[in-house]
Amino acid sequence: MPRLTKKQARAEVSRLREEIRRHDHLYYAESNPEIPDADYDKLMRRLMELERGYGLAVPDSPSQRVAGEVAEQFNSFSHVIPMMSIDNAVDEQETREFDQRIKRFLKTEEEIEYVLQPKFDGVSASLTYVEGDLLHGATRGDGKTGEEITANLKTVRSVPLALSGGGRKPKLVEIRGEVVFPKSLFAKLNEELEKLNEELEKENENLLKENKKPKPLRMLFKNPRNAASGSLRQLDSSVTARRPLHFYAWGVGGCEGVDFRDEIEIYEAFRKWGFNIEEPGDCLGIDQAIEYARELEQKRDSIDYEIDGAVVKVRSRRLQEILGTTAKYPRWSVAIKFSPKQITTKIRDITVQVGRTGHLTPVAELEPVKISGIEIKRASLHTEDTVREKDVRIGDTVVVQRAGDVIPEVVEVMASQERGKKTFSMPKNCPRCEAPIEREGSFHVCPDISCPAQIRGRVSLFASRNAFNIEGLGAKKVEQLISEGILRNMADIFTLKKEQLLGLEGFAEKSAENLLEEIEKSRDISFERFINSLSIKHVGTRVAQTLAREFKTPENLMAATDEDLLRVEGVGEELAQSVLRFFGDPERRGVVEALLSQVRIEEQPEPSGKNEKIAGKTFVLTGTLSVPREQAKNEIERLGGKVVNSVSGKTDFLVSGADPGIAKLKKAAELGIDVITGEQLEKILAFQDVTSKR
């Protein structure tokens, strides 16, 4: 980029400040941001670059203060100790520069002890306790002055109204943390708001007929962070009480009557006092800190709240005091930013995808972009109604986000961009089998279960890791075998012959034998994975686990009545009907019976109480395990164990899979903690004896 004149730089700085202030207001005061965080960060970094390069920094610039505003409808609250922002590190180099600055300041070459915690993407709040009782609750606001929302914060069930635990309570302590909205419940909230709007629209029709003022409709939330902010800033605290908010403690502000030596002691106090916490990572040196941050980023999609980075803190409180702060940031902390999960791009076309349950999904074909290091070319538009509500057109510039391992989705159209002209409508016939499309609520569905697209989806899930785990039978191979007419359903997999494979593209003598060997190995399967493999609508890994535990055998599940299913905790009417329809369909039931004649359902041991090798023990999981990590965690907790994120002296087992975290292995070795493999963990979970390795 060519160097600007001072006049040009001043003009761009003025424009950037005005734009950033506008976005700050939209984000903090209205909970209605126009741009993703990644785009906002680019604006801020450009402003800071110009201010430094041309000597244009001024005290009231957005770059010189903590972003945020106090809403007019709430009383203001002054923080005794300012809630400062944390400086960002966007890559490893900047993280190492932070470490070098600390060492230069302390005049030491020794490795610094750090702790790491998730950087929550929620609403920062402070809770002031006097003699152990909650007296004030406030938002961060501008860092010095926030909004007093005590009544609303008291409705959050994970906020203790009084500090628990024995012993003397501090005379005063300000607990700082984050209010978050669970990702798993976010869609449900917007659905409830949509239903409420439908009722309001009907009511407004009558009001208009009577020449009365209509009632305002409820605004839908764009993401879980907005949902947390909007829920907390309700004038009616009963509305906040109905929202499933969670508070996680991450720091201490003002404190009288108790002294903490380090951050780990603070977290131990949080636990004793009754707060939700995320176990901090305890790291010696910046290399371990970076490794821990990488592991956290890899699993961010499996966590039920949004995180956008990892916060690194100097562990020692004494060293924190020596390091002090700048005008804006603590010198002893930095946030390692994760790759953005939202980004803008352009829609080239809108096509239709047919899923394994027959649902038709409009898909945006995008100009390729990278999110979290992964190239994104397609994004879900969910339903035709969604396309119309968001007014998405071919040629539009849109915000795209990636959540979990599912296909990315289009969040919104960029209103400031030139709009596309070509609109979209769902086809009247299935694009794969030409069957007439049917409507189920807001979904378009292909009713033909013999549709090649549905068969492909079902067989791909059937062969996947959470089901039969048939190595070598990926989506391309499945598509090939279906196209050749060799596979018509899942049961056909177990009747495959080498003669059918030889001669097909990609199959020689050895590769055909290898696939058949993998199929043979997969015939033994647990009941829960068998259920998950069947592609029953609304039945995923967790529901499959519940059904397997309740019904014990396929025969029991197939014979279950509506009453039997509804007695199971977590099973509602819609799920029960889906299971009944599945096994009541002669074709689907025939496939299941054919499978049962070809596979062996493993008998699950009936635990008599808690597994003594698990109960009361603390586990840390690292690397890729032989079973899905979430499944391992659930089973450990079911048997009375505990799973935490970081290795400490309280850890009993480090479970190490493929590509484990080096920092965790080193820490386990230093502390003499047992290291076991994923396979050994499976044996322990099955009540078998194993010999651990150091």
Query: Which two tokens mark 689?
Result: 């004896």
Query: Which two tokens mark 22?
Result: 């506008």
Query: What pLDDT shows up at residue 193?
Result: 85
What pLDDT band is residue 352 in, cutting at 50, 70 and 90? very high
Q: Which residue in the list 6, 119, 510, 521 is annotated as catalytic?
A: 119
Query: What pLDDT shows up at residue 613?
Result: 74
What pLDDT band is residue 608 in, cutting at 50, 70 and 90? very low
User: Is 207 in a helix, a strand, or coil?
Assistant: helix
Query: Which two tokens mark 451?
Result: 């549709």
Domain 618-685 CATH assignment equals 3.40.50.10190: yes
Pairwise CA distance, residues 599 & 299, whole Å: 33
Structure confidence by residue, pLDDT tens digits, 530-573: 998 998 988 877 688 789 888 989 999 999 999 999 888 768 78
Residue range 462-491: mean pLDDT, rounded: 87
What pLDDT band is residue 465 in, cutting at 50, 70 and 90? confident
Mean of pLDDT over the chain: 84
Query: What pLDDT shows up at residue 172?
Result: 92
Query: What pLDDT shows up at residue 72?
Result: 54
CATH hierarchy code of domain 74-88+113-294+301-329: 3.30.470.30
Residue range 634-655: mean pLDDT, rounded: 81
Does residue 630 have a pLDDT over 90? no
* Residue for token pair 């898909």: 363
Please give the DSSP secondary-structure letter assigned to residue 376.
Answer: E
Query: What pLDDT shows up at residue 607?
Result: 47
Residue partners of 510: CB distance under 8 A and separation at least 6? none
Query: pTM of the full predicted structure?
Result: 0.52
Query: What pLDDT shows up at residue 471?
Result: 84
Query: What pLDDT shows up at residue 73?
Result: 66
Does residue 288 have a pLDDT over 80? yes
**6-64 homologous superfamily:** Helix hairpin bin (1.10.287.610)
379 and 390 Cβ atoms separated by less than 8 Å:
no
Cα separations in angstroms, 43 against 28, 33, 36, 346, 496: 17, 14, 11, 20, 58
CA-based R_g, the chain, Å: 28
**452-602 homologous superfamily:** 5' to 3' exonuclease, C-terminal subdomain (1.10.150.20)
Q: Where are the domains of the chain?
A: 6-64, 74-88+113-294+301-329, 342-445, 452-602, 618-685
What pLDDT band is residue 689 in, cutting at 50, 70 and 90? very low
* Low-confidence winner among 92-96, 575-579, 658-662, 689-693 (lowest mean pLDDT): 689-693
Q: Does the annotation mark 171 as catalytic?
A: no
Does residue 328 have a pLDDT over 90? no
Does residue 229 have a pLDDT over 50? yes
Class of domain 342-445: mainly beta
What pLDDT band is residue 403 in, cutting at 50, 70 and 90? low
* Residue 655: φ, ψ to 5°: -95, 115
Structure confidence by residue, pLDDT tens digits, 20-41: 877 766 665 455 666 777 777 7
